[in-house]
């Protein structure tokens, strides 16, 4: 299976899923991908899973524990459902206009109705699938380093018809700004002051998209340095 457009993080998750399936002597399916996602400690998708109460132990409980001698020597193939998860992940990335396929797209695919095995996990753990999906759609794409490519970050992360405004922010306004906010409400453009402020914030971001793109690239560079530092210290046990 060609993984050219998958981010480095997503590739690691897929590789871990393949290793898990090999250890169990079975093809790679949705549950192996979900288990690898749940075990990941770096992606926003994995954090969303943990906050939804999905743990590696809970996912592993839905897999049959392998008997001795069942591990495969060769890399196992993907079963039809496992292939469909990666294909749906690619479609999610295309629909969201992201130039890469990341861990969040794989998780979005696992939340789709077609992933029957994953659906059993969601039901068993009482996961609110719709809410988890909305959270993934609302968060900005994570900066990713892809081999041979410059780090790319897209700020087109609003999906039409699926806005999820779960974050509450208190803000003080000066008189001219409040006047403008109230004008939007009186004109019927916004239903409330809160919605008017949200609209103005969004318009400001869209008007300065290039600036935010440059800022995101700088932030990605800092994140890469932090990740390199963590690997260095993890490699020597944290000793100095």
Q: What is the DSSP string of 42-64?
A: S-HHHHHHHHTT--HHHHHTTSP
Which pLDDT does position 158 carry in this prediction?
36
What string of DSSP letters covers 110-150? HHSTT-HHHHHHHHHHT--HHHHHHHHHHSPPPPB--TTS-
User: Is the pTM for the entire model greater than 0.95?
Assistant: no
Q: Chunked in runs of 10, what are the mean pLDDT values of the chain (240 residues)?
A: 75 91 89 93 87 91 71 80 92 87 92 81 91 85 48 37 55 87 91 88 82 75 77 61
What string of DSSP letters covers 59-100? HHTTSPPPPTT---SSPPPBPHHHHHHHHHHHHHHHHTT-SS
- Indicate the SS3 state at residue 101: strand
Domains assigned to the chain? 8-138 (1.10.1780.10), 175-235 (no CATH)
**DSSP state at residue 25:** T
Percent helix, percent strand, percent coil in the chain, to nearest 5 = 60, 0, 40
Rounded CA-CA distance 157/138 in Å is 7
Rounded CA-CA distance 25/19 in Å is 10
Rounded CA-CA distance 198/181 in Å is 10
């Amino acid at each position: 299976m060609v993984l050219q457009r998958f981010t480095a993080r997503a590739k690691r998750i897929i590789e871990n899923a393949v290793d898990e399936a090999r250890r169990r002597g079975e093809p790679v399916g949705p549950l192996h991908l979900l288990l690898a996602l749940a075990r990941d400690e770096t992606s926003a998708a994995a954090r969303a899973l943990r906050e939804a109460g999905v743990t590696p132990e809970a996912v592993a409980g839905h897999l049959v524990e392998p008997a001795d001698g069942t591990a495969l020597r060769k890399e196992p193939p993907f079963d039809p459902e496992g292939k469909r998860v990666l294909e749906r992940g690619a479609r999610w990335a295309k629909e969201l206009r992201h130039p890469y396929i990341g861990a969040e797209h794989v998780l979005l695919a696992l939340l789709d109705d077609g992933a029957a095995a994953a659906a059993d996990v969601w039901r068993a753990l009482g996961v609110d699938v719709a809410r988890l999906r909305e959270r993934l759609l609302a968060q900005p794409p994570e900066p990713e380093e892809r081999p041979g490519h410059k780090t790319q970050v897209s700020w087109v992360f609003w999906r039409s018809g699926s806005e999820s405004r779960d974050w509450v922010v208190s803000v003080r306004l000066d008189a001219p700004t409040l006047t403008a906010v109230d004008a939007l409400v009186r004109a019927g453009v916004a239903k409330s002051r809160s919605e008017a402020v949200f609209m103005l914030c969004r318009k400001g971001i869209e008007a300065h998209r290039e600036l935010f793109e440059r800022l995101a690239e700088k932030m990605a560079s800092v994140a890469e340095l932090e990740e390199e530092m963590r690997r260095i210290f993890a490699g020597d046990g944290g000793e100095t």
